[in-house]
Structure 1
Amino acid sequence: MAERKHGETAPATDVTIAGADWYGLDISDRNHSRTLFSDLDMTEATSAGAVFKECTFRRAKFNCSRHEGSAFINCTFVGCNFYDVDFNDCKFVGSMFDSCKFDATRVKGGNWSFVGLPGADLRSAVFTDAVLREADLTGARCESGTMTGLDLSGAWLHSANFSGCDLRGSDLTSIEPETVTLKRAVITIEQSVMICEAMGLVVRAS
């Protein structure tokens, strides 16, 4: 399993729910803490304001589900599938993702600070206007993805691949150009100046 930042251990769970079928359910009223969900099927489920705190999801299917203002705080996701999922204004602070699939995942707004996405394949994912302060994106694959308007301040980006990725409007102050791949990445003039300065260049108007 991928390690959390600074070697922190995943929160222990007190309750186990195995094989639950939440297919197509409205789970807005759910509030779970320190629960292990094994083989949960959340396909086409919807939530608004649901809360999951320090829970572990193993092999959960979130496919085609829609979540608005829900919270998954300091949770652990192992081998989960997030195909065609919408997370709008959701909170994932401190959560860790290991061996998960993010095909056509859409994240809009919300707080994803301190999340762990090391090595994640985000090539077809869309992240817009979200906070990912101090997120672990070490080795993340973001080629041709969309990561616009993000707060990536303090993020771990070593060995991340942003080739062809749309990064416009995102805070790129944590990028060390020599440790990431930026070929054909889409950025603004202001961002290009910042990256040039990070490379030690002196940028002048004329």
Structure 2
Amino acid sequence: MTVPPAFPRPSDGDDPAAVLRALASGTRFDAVDCSGLDLGRALATPGEPRTFRRCVFSGARLRGARLDGAVFEECVATGADFAGAVLDGARFTGGRLASSDFADADLADAVFDGVDLADTGFRGAMLDDARFTGCRMTGARLGGLRGLAVTLTLERCAMQLADLRGVGLRGIHLKGVDLSEADLEGADLRDAVFEDCRLRDAQLRNAKLAGADLRGADLGELAPDAPALLRGAVISPAQAAAICAALGLHVVP
């Protein structure tokens, strides 16, 4: 299959229309720069999955684009607009998508591996069976997810300051996830398992934690309201002792 040639930046004199025509008709792209372009119409038709390698989509509009099964390798899409895009089964490997917007996008079965997703928005997105591994998700916004978010996989991700208010993650198994200072207010974490995770200074007000296994979580310095916030959760003897200490109690063996 022929790989289209790399395009220079449209701002450097290339015709943006040529870029759009290539995207509409091709399936494999290397080092194509689509910065600031509106790609919704060019990518509106579903077909054979497209592969993008080292392409740039910074500030581009991909609203409603049909990118089922698309592959993004080491691409840069900072500030890109993927709102309402269909990315079912898409795979993102490496690259930077910081401050991008996936609001209401279909990301079922999508895979994000080693991607910079800092400050990225997923409000209203479909993340059934989506998988995030080794991603930087500092400040990411996952409120209001659609579908069965319990099937979401999060492993070795940095999610400090992330917004997960009201997210339904019942039964999820988190591995190596740093949720320090994350906002989990009202989140459904019943029966969730936290393995080698950090919850230091996380906001847990009104979170549902019945049956949640927090023995593998670093809870940080506990405040006197910890017993109420962690009601129903499974904790270790060391964590229980820390809670007693926060209450001013001395546990004597």
Give structure 1 stretches of 5+ with no counterpart.
1-12
Cα drift, residue 178 of structure 1: 4.5
Aligned residues: 192
Distance 2:80 2:91 in 1: 20
150, 175, 189: which one aligns with 1:128: 175
176, 180, 184: which one aligns with 1:137: 184
1:73 corresponding residue in structure 2 = 118
The AA in structure 2 aligned to 1:182 is R
2:31 maps to 1:31: no
TM-score (norm 2): 0.70
Higher fraction of strand: 1
Distance 1:192 1:160 in 2: 19
Question: 1:15/1:179 Cα in 2 relative to 1: closer, same or farther (>3 Å)?
Answer: farther
Give structure 2 stretches of 5+ with no counterpart.
1-57
Higher fraction of helix: 2
Q: Contact between 1:139 and 1:161, CA under 8 Å: does it hold in 2?
A: yes
Q: Which has the higher contact order (CA 8 A, sep 6+)?
A: 1
Question: 1:188/1:123 Cα in 2 relative to 1: closer, same or farther (>3 Å)?
Answer: same
Of the two, which has the highest radius of gyration?
2
152, 155, 161: which one aligns with 1:114: 161
Q: Contact between 2:59 and 2:77, CA under 8 Å: does it hold in 1?
A: no
How do 1:1-206 and structure 2 match up within 5 A?
A: 14-101=59-146, 102-173=149-220, 176-183=225-232, 185-205=233-253
Cα drift, residue 163 of structure 1: 0.6
The AA in structure 2 aligned to 1:115 is A
| Farther off after superposition, 170-179 or 49-58 | 170-179
Q: Contact between 2:201 and 2:219, CA under 8 Å: does it hold in 1?
A: no
Question: 1:55/1:100 Cα in 2 relative to 1: closer, same or farther (>3 Å)?
Answer: same
Q: Contact between 1:159 and 1:181, CA under 8 Å: does it hold in 2?
A: no
TM-score (norm 1): 0.85
The percentage of aligned residue pairs carrying the same residue is 24
Question: 1:163/1:200 Cα in 2 relative to 1: closer, same or farther (>3 Å)?
Answer: farther
Distance 1:115 1:169 in 2: 20
The AA in structure 1 aligned to 2:141 is M
